[in-house]
Amino acid sequence: MATSLGWADTEDKRDIVHIVVQALVEGKLVVLPTETAYHVVASGLNEAALEQLQKLREQGKVASPALLLRSSGESMDYCPGMSRVARRAVGRGWPGPLVLELPIHAAGDEEGTQAVVSEEPAADSSLTLANRLPGVAKSLVLKEGFLAQRVVPHAVVTEAMRLTPGPLIAAACVDEQAGPLSRPEEVARSLGSNVSILVDDGQTHFGGFATRIRVVGNECALITPGVIEADKRERLFHLVILLVCTGNTCRSPMAEVMLKSLLAESFPQHCGPGANKVHVASAGLSAFPGGPASAEAQSVMERRQLSLRNHQSRALTEQALRYADLVLTMTRSHRAAIVDQLPSIASKVHVLSGSLDDVSDPFGGTETIYDACANQIEGYLRNWVHRMDDSWFPVWRSE
């Protein structure tokens, strides 16, 4: 039987982590808790351990394995040609109960889309970390050129990965009916002496499988439904555009409703009635939450058959900025304020004009001034929409 180590009962959890790391380095299999099910984990550099994991897979003791990543950013080292749709799920879904199957070859986006938000340059897949994995590791996690990968948030996994040389490969423990094992006593009975250590952290949070999705370009295929609900998993891949001004009562609300209209006109299959693949929102750097759009902005939009009657101003948040794929600011100073606070997102924050021109604040002006402002904004928005294509929007395929 495996040695059981109680995670919750141990005061200094570093002791458990060191025992786990030592076992992995020695080529032993260990069982670690995740938020979904318990997983058998092996060092990705130890072929003997990986062969043991392969045998457990053949015996129906574990599900399909995945490569464990230390962070979402590490995925680019294995799949450098990742499409923008895949990068959304990587950024929004990890760490979490999500396995992504991504091509190690650059499947990329259609030519000509890099002008809006730059993609990573195509890379020679022979130079990626995926091709440096041992042969047994590749047979476990690399199928048809797609690498299964995941970022697990449980502390024992993250700390073990921090101290273990090389990658780790993990597979969910399953019962005789191929269902997930989420209780340590079930795992102990199922695996017995096939593993050396079992870290016991009680019942797992979700008690199910991670959701598994294959992504190539903008096409998504659901492999395993898992614990992420349908609407939530689809939102992982939505195009999100955030428009920013100062008070979120004039410029950015007008830009929001006009952009929604332009996208529906240009991409009806993705953004038209019944489609749900894009989310356009607006916010203000100094907005007071809950305020209406200005009367002039409402009037100008009504003449365009657009409505701001239900608009409520929103303050800009870090969460919204990080979640968005594209952030368009009305002025250079708006962009500078955002980038100063969050320099890591600078590549996706742009001035709406695409140049040094700002959209002046019409607040306090006449409807004529608001109308001129709206015309200016619409012209800039049309330029952005013109530079987009179908690769910006997820398409779900049956697998």
Question: Three-state SS across 6-64?
Answer: ECCCCCCCHHHHHHHHHHHHCCCCEEECCCCCCEEEEECCCHHHHHHHHHHHHCCCECC
**Lowest-pLDDT range, 123-127, 174-178, 182-186, 267-271?**
123-127
Exposure of 177 by Cβ count < 10 A (0-12 exposed, 13-18 middle, 19+ buried)?
exposed
**Structure tokens of 139?**
């047979």
Per-residue pLDDT reduced to its tens digit, 35-80: 999 999 999 999 999 999 999 999 999 999 999 999 999 999 999 9
Q: Sign of the C-alpha dihedral, residues 76, 79, 84, 86? A: negative
pLDDT value of position 273: 83
Q: Chain-wide mean pLDDT for the chain?
A: 93
The span from the CA of 201 to the CA of 198, in Å, is 9
- What pLDDT band is residue 1 in, cutting at 50, 70 and 90? confident
Percent residues over pLDDT 90 in the chain: 89
Q: Please, which residues bridge with residue 3 across strands? A: 197
The span from the CA of 152 to the CA of 171, in Å, is 12
Please provide the CATH number assigned to the domain covering 239-397.
3.40.50.2300
pLDDT value of position 131: 86
Per-residue pLDDT reduced to its tens digit, 172-220: 999 999 999 999 999 999 999 999 999 999 999 999 999 999 999 999 9
Task: Determine if the peptide bond prior to 95 is cis (ω within 30°).
Answer: yes
**Structure tokens of 341?**
């606070």
Highest CATH level, class, for 3-228 = alpha beta
Q: Please, which residues bridge with residue 329 across strands? A: 244, 351
CB 296 within 8 A of CB 366: yes
CB 271 within 8 A of CB 263: yes
Mean of the pLDDT values across residues 77-106? 94
Looking at the chain, list the stretches that DSSP marks H as alpha helix, in order from N- to C-terminal side: 14-25, 47-58, 75-78, 84-93, 135-141, 155-163, 184-191, 230-235, 251-266, 268-271, 295-302, 318-323, 332-341, 367-386
DSSP letter assigned to residue 211: E
- Give the distance, in angstroms, between the CA of residue 158 and the centroid of all CA atoms in the same chain: 18
The span from the CA of 83 to the CA of 106, in Å, is 8
The span from the CA of 233 to the CA of 210, in Å, is 11
Alpha-carbon separation of residue 352 from 262, 280, 318, 385 (angstroms): 15, 14, 19, 12
The span from the CA of 8 to the CA of 31, in Å, is 15
Phi-psi map region of 378: left, alpha, beta (phi>0 left; psi -120 to 50 alpha): alpha
Per-residue pLDDT reduced to its tens digit, 287-327: 999 999 999 999 999 999 999 999 999 999 999 999 999 99
Q: Which residues are catalytic?
A: 245, 251, 361
- pLDDT at 113 exceeding the cut of 80: no
The span from the CA of 281 to the CA of 323, in Å, is 11
- What pLDDT band is residue 236 in, cutting at 50, 70 and 90? very high
Helix axes 251-266, 367-386, angle to 10 degrees: 40
Higher pLDDT among residues 293 and 114, named by residue: 293
Spell out the domain ranges in the chain: 3-228, 239-397
pLDDT value of position 126: 57
